[in-house]
Structure 1
């Protein structure tokens, strides 16, 4: 089978050919790109110095038939730089067969996507991510995409890098998680583990925010009294609109934006218990009016307060909720709204969510997954990873005897999760009072006053330790900086001994807290570290590294100390809420500082409410007003962010890519999605563009031209795209006047098209117009050596030797060693000599 496919692959890639500059390449990958100028000239003009930065990991889609890695190697690799080239499988195999990738430096890897994980691990991509030194490029073959595989590969790599950057940023020290953990310690009083097996053998319905949620809500409402209901916090708005109150609501995200999508949960009544990760966003925890259980540990250091508990790990809120369901003893979990893919018209979340309000998502990739209904649906890389993590989790839980069902036909098909239509779900007859069960399990927990006393003592212990580390790191920094001579030699070994003693104190007296401090200060160290230095450290660099190391300690201690000081203030304010004579001014200041205005509601439910001084009542009334305003505000940062996914600019890009790959069904889906866009006036030119694409793919060129003409008649939007297609149709149908007019209009619209117009005029024998177009372009972009060389060649071919010599002189003045220009000038001299 493999041998049978080989002729097809060879036909796809074309034969191995070479140009007059000695460049060897697979014809159909690069076609005529290197006909007029050498690969070296082309790469120099295209990438300039961007590929030659020190201490950078360069990810490049395509190798230009192996020419680009060879070009980089011949130019000399910068210190600390690494290169990973990615090719489609068939291309990579052909390049190896033709020996176009031989004898490459070990700092250059050429791989297929299958080897991505191994190559990036070997080249320490994590270290480069930490110093923000991962760069991605498309080779010229990937920009042209003649074989129609590079665009999708490029898109996929962009998603991988985006997701990986976020993951590595989170992993590095995990400052956000630790900071939230300390912020939340006053609230994280009752561990979720107290409810272990409290619902043994029962059924729970777990609701998430996928598009299928809307289909499930009527059934949920009808059967509300017969199920225990889990809900992720982001669907609280939809549940309130449907008059459904969950038994448990879940949140794990530490980011502030999580409050924007979840804040409506603060309107739930006493029936609902909040289950949160230890690092969930504090504004949800400290304003929650009901019972709350936390997952994970209370503090990020060894402490008696870290009692046994269920894990707070995700990676998603759905994972956390599913794990909690199993730990609570549920033997059957019914998933609804857990889609992990989008609708075919680009909607990512249920109606009523910010994502649905923003409109269909246009920046979809080509990534698709199989659904429970057997059809394919678009998804994102984050969802694809969530599918894998959920599958692994489901396998473990089902092996332990827990049944997991998904009721959505449009949800992603996941291993160990059985699809069962919602109408076939059988429920228990009896009512289960989840609130009563929770109350019974947490009744013996120590009261809040006693808990706050223990927390305050632990925070003060940590405060003492961190202050000591800050003092030691400042002293170590002073010693390290002073013990070197001007020549970088250690002069006083007594100073070195003092440093060793300080290091011992870090490791012995403060070992738990010094590790924590390092995690807070390590970014500063990594920023100046070289993940792959190809040179030895100098003595001066060693001294600087020591300084940075102790500065990182000091900075980490300072950051951690601020968090602990804030936490101490917060705990003291919580104690004031229970005091016989509270300091209400202190409370008001703490609520303002934390933006926890809703905490006034909680305060007014306590016995001390009767002691609120008259002068503080207007302050607290204003806080309550602000709280209501914040909860009801729909114009949030999150809505602004998700609207960007519906940006029509993404639609233009996606439509063009689908057209290039002849994805007719996806283009039709895109056209349908436009019907659901809020501003139909704005979307009109995009509708014409997609309609034109579909007409072209259907062989209806007149219909396509009519659609593109509607864009031109309508205004300035998408004019370039329409004119490009009109020119293309003119070329395909040998309608020279139409193609010429379209290219002329394009060149007037955007000077970037002048070389293309010039080339077309050259092909049709109109040399003087071509020369004028080239000169007009060069006048605006005098640094473009590639176009200058094309003009020089046109002068040469047209026997306008003086002009050719002038422009070659200009080129060599900019780039004295450019071989192709030197060679052409030598040919000119030879012609002149022969004619004399």
Structure 2
């Protein structure tokens, strides 16, 4: 472990509660309060929650691991402890056989594999993963634990992103089916329509603010394609976008994009087939879909514009190229944080929260030549866009922001270098083009209804065949019959079988084996087959429910068209789908006035819809963790470890205006500023800013920094005061204190301090050598010889001791 004296590190103490612990790790945390009381307060209610994957950083000298092992653990929860290598070498936590499938203790090197093994990906994609910090990690006195915390969080974030993108088919399929009735007209009707023209794609990054004046000055020349969350911002600035793009299937997408819903009469919405249904079904305006309406192949959609990800910016660029634009300008497409640490353009919830202080990302190169921080999700989107652009040779992509992350094959040009080829298409002309594509909604709904009826019939047949296969598999030597069943499924229901496997990827993945096929036993094969058909049955039943719900929705949409509307039935369906705003869509397209009864029936729904558009509390709470001061310390220490001056300066600027809010904010500001000044080779200023904090707010980390800076500046009295405090916290500082006393020419106190330490840690060769050299300096030759002989007793080949004894002789 870096910066930690190994001899101090591996010495145990016994508390008054008869608990063994490592003072170097837990200091005096267990001296006044026993471990169970500590852990009950912090963790008991969390650890007893059902169906959770718990990642716990640190085992608190083994006591936290033992605490978990003694709990009555929920059978469907998993616990993974991640600990420093040196701690694991010292401690041997005995996990009972009955709990070895539930509890794991590992070093950081094994965490990535564990997150990808067993059922752990299922916990991740279902948001059932929790990360907890042990008392030692929370105490923040060991730099190694700060680094471990950062490493764990990086792996967890990466695994979360990867698994949610790879295994999250369910939400896409479900939203696709809910949207089936609303996916009327494909976006391909616009393909090639703007050949040779220039558009601007406006995304939600900070650089949008830098270019807003230029966009407004050129709004008559520009065809504006806006990602959904900045459409309202542009409209307020007098630049209503011609096209709004939205793709996110997550339910929270409506809250994120709520302001967009008022733009239904001024902009065309182009959306993915799997867009959040709460947006699409409650959108009153014109809209076109990209991708396929159905899960299975459909002739009408084969030539549609492809649905592209992973971000809405990627999708907007693909749409721009497909509808003919040969030059697409990008603004707000930064793929990194701004120089001030902001993640989004002004006016967004993220921008209102200020710079992100909790996420620890990587630093990437920008077009300006500087570096900027980014997160894993944006890095993946950046990679996807670089690949995407290669396949769009007909469209030149130009990023207007010098502060955007560099992406291969995308150039940066200053605003005065841009030449615009106007599209000469106002909103009315675009709307007229869309309106010319007439759609017989009744025919469309009946088509959807037939598709659902056929799908249900096919899935029911697959369900019967899979049930038969499961029964046959439990009998001996029935491989031929199983082959016939599999043949029937694939021949007669091949399209739906593919849908079942795609939708239920996680369920089907359980039948896969990591064992080499040449080592499969008969029982192993039978179990795999059992898992395979159980997955077929489970997923088929789930899809059957969704198909029936979609069928019911088709009838509801037909009811919306009827002149003799059953308003009660409509209200019931809208409420069931959590689409109260659908009542406004229905009223908007109705060719008659509402009756008094109908107005009264939809009034509560209208009120509920307005509440949905204005209540952002769920999204705010989701964002809050990344902007928490509690995480800022870990980020500061990560930047210190990497000697990232730019990042530290950014943290200082971010924390300064908040330093009056709380003691924590004040402490973090002074600490970050001190480290920043030290990296700039300004040790006196670094020390001064730390002392300005006030000793009442000092923790071990501040005392340590004061001792380092004071020694560097030769301010020995101040260093002594800091080290006296540190010695009271941990014996590991005794050798440093002894060395300081030596510098102050306090010979006897220095010798006493060395001996106090060596009496406790007699195997510390390095400190014995320092003591021997000190004794030799003060001409206590015989004692020095005895010390060097002690070193040779511990290490007979120690060359320094051999040389010193030779000199003395």
The TM-score range, normalised by the shorter chain, is 0.7 to 0.9
CA distance in 2, matches of 1:676, 1:286: 43
Match of 1:577 among 545, 555, 560: 560
Q: How does 1:374-773 map to 2 (within 5 A)?
A: 374-397=369-392, 399-400=393-394, 402-428=395-421, 431-440=424-433, 443-481=436-474, 483=475, 490=476, 493=477, 497-527=480-510, 531=514, 541-607=524-590, 610=593, 612=595, 614-633=596-615, 635-675=616-656, 677=658, 680-681=661-662, 683-697=665-679, 703-713=685-695, 719-729=699-709, 737-744=720-727, 747=729, 754=730, 756=732, 765-766=752-753
8 Å CA contact 2:194, 2:423 repeated in 1:
no
Relative to structure 1, the CA distance from residue 685 to residue 383 in structure 2 (aligned partners, 3 Å threshold; closer, same or farther) is same
| Secondary structure class of the residue paired with 1:551 | helix
TM-score by length of 2: 0.73
- Measured against aligned partners, the alpha-carbon deviations of 1:662-710 in whole angstroms (never above 9, x if no partner) come to 3333322211122465974462222222223234445655654554445
Deviates more, 1:618-627 or 1:575-584: 618-627
CA distance in 2, matches of 1:536, 1:430: 65
Relative to structure 1, the CA distance from residue 771 to residue 524 in structure 2 (aligned partners, 3 Å threshold; closer, same or farther) is farther
| Secondary structure class of the residue paired with 1:610 | coil
Q: How does 1:119-158 map to 2 (within 5 A)?
A: 130=121
Relative to structure 1, the CA distance from residue 227 to residue 444 in structure 2 (aligned partners, 3 Å threshold; closer, same or farther) is same
| Secondary structure class of the residue paired with 1:577 | helix
CA distance in 2, matches of 1:602, 1:30: 65
- Measured against aligned partners, the alpha-carbon deviations of 1:169-218 in whole angstroms (never above 9, x if no partner) come to 43237222122211111111100111111112221111001101112222
Relative to structure 1, the CA distance from residue 131 to residue 428 in structure 2 (aligned partners, 3 Å threshold; closer, same or farther) is closer
| Secondary structure class of the residue paired with 1:604 | helix
Relative to structure 1, the CA distance from residue 422 to residue 561 in structure 2 (aligned partners, 3 Å threshold; closer, same or farther) is same
Q: Which residue of 2 aligns with 1:300?
A: 295
8 Å CA contact 1:208, 1:235 repeated in 2:
yes
8 Å CA contact 2:727, 2:734 repeated in 1:
no
Q: How does 1:340-379 map to 2 (within 5 A)?
A: 340-365=335-360, 367-379=362-374
8 Å CA contact 2:196, 2:325 repeated in 1:
yes
Give how far 1:350 is off.
Answer: 0.6
CA distance in 1, matches of 2:175, 2:243: 21
CA distance in 2, matches of 1:307, 1:678: 58
8 Å CA contact 1:247, 1:435 repeated in 2:
no
Give how far 1:279 is off.
Answer: 1.0
8 Å CA contact 2:703, 2:723 repeated in 1:
no
Relative to structure 1, the CA distance from residue 684 to residue 34 in structure 2 (aligned partners, 3 Å threshold; closer, same or farther) is closer
- Measured against aligned partners, the alpha-carbon deviations of 1:592-618 in whole angstroms (never above 9, x if no partner) come to 122212122121123365354x44423
| Secondary structure class of the residue paired with 2:391 | helix
Relative to structure 1, the CA distance from residue 463 to residue 265 in structure 2 (aligned partners, 3 Å threshold; closer, same or farther) is same
8 Å CA contact 1:289, 1:602 repeated in 2:
yes
Q: How does 1:102-117 map to 2 (within 5 A)?
A: none
CA distance in 1, matches of 2:737, 2:81: 38
| Secondary structure class of the residue paired with 1:427 | coil
CA distance in 1, matches of 2:183, 2:369: 44
Relative to structure 1, the CA distance from residue 257 to residue 676 in structure 2 (aligned partners, 3 Å threshold; closer, same or farther) is farther
How many residues end up aligned between the 2 structures? 686
Q: How does 1:17-36 map to 2 (within 5 A)?
A: 33=6
CA distance in 2, matches of 1:418, 1:37: 55
CA distance in 2, matches of 1:674, 1:424: 37
8 Å CA contact 2:7, 2:764 repeated in 1:
no
Structure 1 unaligned residues grouped into runs of 5+: 1-27, 51-55, 72-77, 88-107, 110-115, 138-147, 484-489, 748-753, 775-789, 798-822, 825-836
CA distance in 1, matches of 2:3, 2:710: 24
Give how far 1:437 is off.
Answer: 3.5
Give how far 1:258 is off.
Answer: 1.9
Are 1:182 and 2:177 matched, yes or no? yes
CA distance in 2, matches of 1:324, 1:168: 27
Q: Which residue of 1 aligns with 2:192?
A: 197
Relative to structure 1, the CA distance from residue 768 to residue 419 in structure 2 (aligned partners, 3 Å threshold; closer, same or farther) is closer
Q: How does 1:196-215 map to 2 (within 5 A)?
A: 196-215=191-210
CA distance in 1, matches of 2:195, 2:274: 28
Relative to structure 1, the CA distance from residue 367 to residue 496 in structure 2 (aligned partners, 3 Å threshold; closer, same or farther) is closer
Give how far 1:639 is off.
Answer: 2.3
CA distance in 1, matches of 2:735, 2:528: 56
Give how far 1:281 is off.
Answer: 0.9
Q: Which residue of 2 aligns with 1:327?
A: 322
- Measured against aligned partners, the alpha-carbon deviations of 1:106-137 in whole angstroms (never above 9, x if no partner) come to xx99xxxxxx9xxx9xx996888746799999
CA distance in 1, matches of 2:229, 2:297: 33
CA distance in 2, matches of 1:515, 1:430: 42
Deviates more, 1:652-661 or 1:285-294: 652-661
Give how far 1:524 is off.
Answer: 3.3
CA RMSD of aligned residues (A): 5.0
Q: Which residue of 1 aligns with 2:95?
A: none
CA distance in 1, matches of 2:83, 2:501: 37
Relative to structure 1, the CA distance from residue 679 to residue 638 in structure 2 (aligned partners, 3 Å threshold; closer, same or farther) is farther
Q: Which residue of 2 aligns with 1:163?
A: 158
Give how far 1:291 is off.
Answer: 0.9
8 Å CA contact 1:359, 1:677 repeated in 2:
no
Give how far 1:314 is off.
Answer: 1.5
Give how far 1:452 is off.
Answer: 0.9
Give how far 1:85 is off.
Answer: 10
Give how far 1:285 is off.
Answer: 0.8
CA distance in 1, matches of 2:699, 2:104: 41
Relative to structure 1, the CA distance from residue 228 to residue 690 in structure 2 (aligned partners, 3 Å threshold; closer, same or farther) is same
Structure 2 unaligned residues grouped into runs of 5+: 12-21, 26-57, 66-77, 93-99, 133-142, 740-749, 769-792, 795-809
CA distance in 1, matches of 2:206, 2:5: 47
Relative to structure 1, the CA distance from residue 467 to residue 607 in structure 2 (aligned partners, 3 Å threshold; closer, same or farther) is same
8 Å CA contact 1:519, 1:556 repeated in 2:
no
Relative to structure 1, the CA distance from residue 430 to residue 499 in structure 2 (aligned partners, 3 Å threshold; closer, same or farther) is closer
Relative to structure 1, the CA distance from residue 237 to residue 689 in structure 2 (aligned partners, 3 Å threshold; closer, same or farther) is farther
CA distance in 2, matches of 1:534, 1:29: 45
CA distance in 1, matches of 2:273, 2:108: 40
